Amino acid sequence: MEMVSRREVQWQQPRQDVSNRATNGSMSVNAVTDTAGEESLTAAASDLLSALGEDLYREGLLRTPQRMAKALTYLTSGSTMTMKDVLNGAIFTERYDQMVLVKDIEFYSLCEHHVLPFYGTAHIAYLPAGKVVGLSKLPRLLDMYARRLQVQERLTQQVAEALQEALNPRGVAVMVEASHFCMMMRGVEKQNSKTVTSALLGEFRDDPALRNEFLSTVRMGYGA
């Protein structure tokens, strides 16, 4: 009699027959791909938990691999999105030419070095040159880049460059302030440290007065 481990019984699920559903239109190719990807992540999560010495049959862990797969899929969903998906045509012609700033935008991301969270706030400003974007699109743009395996420096630059590409404004300024669990839970274990990064393009980079206006407005209300 062939011996099968308990883990194999639990995780070797029969493949779904999606061929008919894919051809009759009830399941898209993307849905099939997403299902396969989530199954693969679930199997990988169970392997990881098992390698850590956990009992996959313990009550609290019975569905943990599936939950891990869903969480990681969501937390990295920005990798499959584009700027066009986010902005969705919400760019408008306006004569306004002063600084537009949305500040204190919270975000959550995963550090690509340890796959631990980092989180904080971002401040995004631009100087219009005939075009403005819907205000809600700035947080959405930030989320698109945050929901990837990231480093804070790259996240900051990507948001700035994306806004520059979308609007071709006279300047863009982005500042990100974040706390990193890789510094808080392991390593140096410093609980109150924050990392601040900035990306300045166009007039924000070249004009000290504009740069100071951005910084002072960001700090307004912080007692600075």
Residue-wise DSSP of 163-222: HHHHH--SEEEEEEEEEEHHHHTSTT--SS--EEEEEEEEHHHH-HHHHHHHHHHHHTTT
Q: Answer yes or no: 158 catalytic.
A: no
Find the catalytic residue in 152, 157, 158, 203: 152
Q: How many domains does the chain have?
A: 2
Q: What interhelical angle do 64-75 and 29-51 show, nearest 10?
A: 120
pLDDT at 37: 80
Q: Answer yes or no: 54 catalytic.
A: no
Find the catalytic residue in 94, 106, 112, 153: 112
Q: What is the pTM of this model?
A: 0.81
Q: Do β-strands 171-180 and 117-127 pair in parallel, antiparallel, or remain unpaired?
A: antiparallel
Same domain, residue pair 15 and 108: no
Note down the domain range covering 17. Answer: 6-75
Q: Answer yes or no: 13 catalytic.
A: no
What is the rounded average pLDDT of the residues 144-169?
Answer: 98
Find the catalytic residue in 114, 164, 177, 213: 114
Would 101 be classed as within a structural domain?
A: yes
pLDDT at 22: 39
Would 126 be classed as within a structural domain?
A: yes
Find the catalytic residue in 123, 157, 180, 203: 180
Q: Answer yes or no: 112 catalytic.
A: yes
Same domain, residue pair 65 and 86: no
Would 194 be classed as within a structural domain?
A: yes
Q: Give the tokens for residue 183.
A: 């510094």
Q: Answer yes or no: 123 catalytic.
A: no
Q: Answer yes or no: 177 catalytic.
A: no
Encode pLDDT of 80-122 as tens digits.
999 999 999 999 999 999 999 999 999 999 999 999 999 999 9
Which stretch of DSSP H or E encloses residue 71? helix 64-75
